[in-house]
Amino acid sequence: GAGVSQSPSNKVTEKGKDVELRCDPISGHTALYWYRQSLGQGLEFLIYFQGNSAPDKSGLPSDRFSAERTGGSVSTLTIQRTQQEDSAVYLCASSPRRRTSSTDTQYFGPGTRLTVL
Amino acid sequence: AQKVTQAQTEISVVEKEDVTLDCVYETRDTTYYLFWYKQPPSGELVFLIRRNSFDEQNEISGRYSWNFQKSTSSFNFTITASQVVDSAVYFCALSGDTGRRALTFGSGTRLQVQP
C-alpha cells in the first residue's frame, strides 16, 4: 500500500516568512510524529499526535512552531517567521498504535527539505 | 532520559567485507524497543528491525544480523558480504513503552562500501 507522503519535497523561503509542511500518513495509522533532521542536532522529535487526543508538543523548539492534524489523518506543520536555524529536513512518521499492541514501528516519509535564506 | 550512542561516525569497507555497526543505549525503562533504520542517499528512513527488551535472541535476515546484549546495553548490527547498495547512513533508535513512544536516535553511522 501507499507509504507516508510529504509535500513539498523542497521548500526555499526567505527569513521571516511563514511556511507550511504537509504530511499524509499511512491509511489507518492513528499515531503521527514529526521529527527534524539537521546537521547540528541530528534527528530530534518535534510533536506527536495520537487519534483525537491532545498532541504532545514537548519537542517543539519554539512557539513559532505549531502543528495540527485534521480528521485524524493529514497533518500540517507550520513555522512562523522562519529563521535560518530552521533550515533542516522535516520528517513525518506514522505508526498503527493498535490498542492491543505494545510495539509500534514508525514508518517515515521522504521528508521536506527546508532552506531559509 | 534516554540516550543512544553510535560512536562510529563513518566506516569505509571494500565490497564483500563484513562490517559491524555499534549501538549503545541508556534508558531507565524496564520495557523498551530498539530499532535500526537505513537512510540511503535518497534521504528516506527505511525501517530494518525492531527488537523489544524482553527478547534477547539474535536475529538474522539475509546478509543482516543483529546482536542484542542487555548486559552491555548494546544492539549491534552486522552486514555480511557488504555490497555497494549497502552504502547509507544507519541509525539506531530507542523508544519507551509508555506515553508518546517517540524515537530517540543515535547520531548515525555513515557506511561507504567501495567496489
User: Per residue in B82-94, pLDDT tens?
Assistant: 999 999 999 999 9
Nearest CB to A103; choose among B52, B99, B103: B52
Task: Output the CA torsion B49→B54→B59→B61 (10° steps).
Answer: -30
The mean pLDDT of A84-101, rounded to a whole number, is 84
- Please tell me the predicted confidence (pLDDT) of residue A40: 76
Cβ pair A33, A57 in contact under 8 A: no
For residue B50, the chain A residues in CB contact (below 8 A) are 103, 105
**Closest-CA residue in chain B for A31?**
B100
Nearest CB to B45; choose among A58, A91, A102: A91
Task: Tell me which H or E stretch contains B65.
Answer: strand B64-69
Is the pLDDT assigned to residue A101 strictly greater than 90? Answer: no
More confident residue, A50 or A67: A67
**Closest-CA residue in chain A for B92?**
A43
Q: How far apart are the CA of A88 and the nearest CA of chain B, in angstroms?
A: 12
For residue A42, the chain B residues in CB contact (below 8 A) are 105-108
More confident residue, B55 or B70: B70
For residue A106, the chain B residues in CB contact (below 8 A) are 47, 103
3-state secondary structure A20-75: EEEEECCCCCCEEEEEEEECCCEEEEEEEEECCCCCECCCCCCCCEEEEECCCCCE
Contact B108 A103 (CB under 8 A): no
What is the grid cell recorded at A44?
530530534
For residue A90, the chain B residues in CB contact (below 8 A) are none
The mean pLDDT of A3-18, rounded to a whole number, is 97
- pLDDT tens, A39-60? 877 899 999 998 888 889 999 9
Question: Comparing C-alpha atoms, which of B38, B37, B3, B23 is closest to residue B76?
Answer: B23
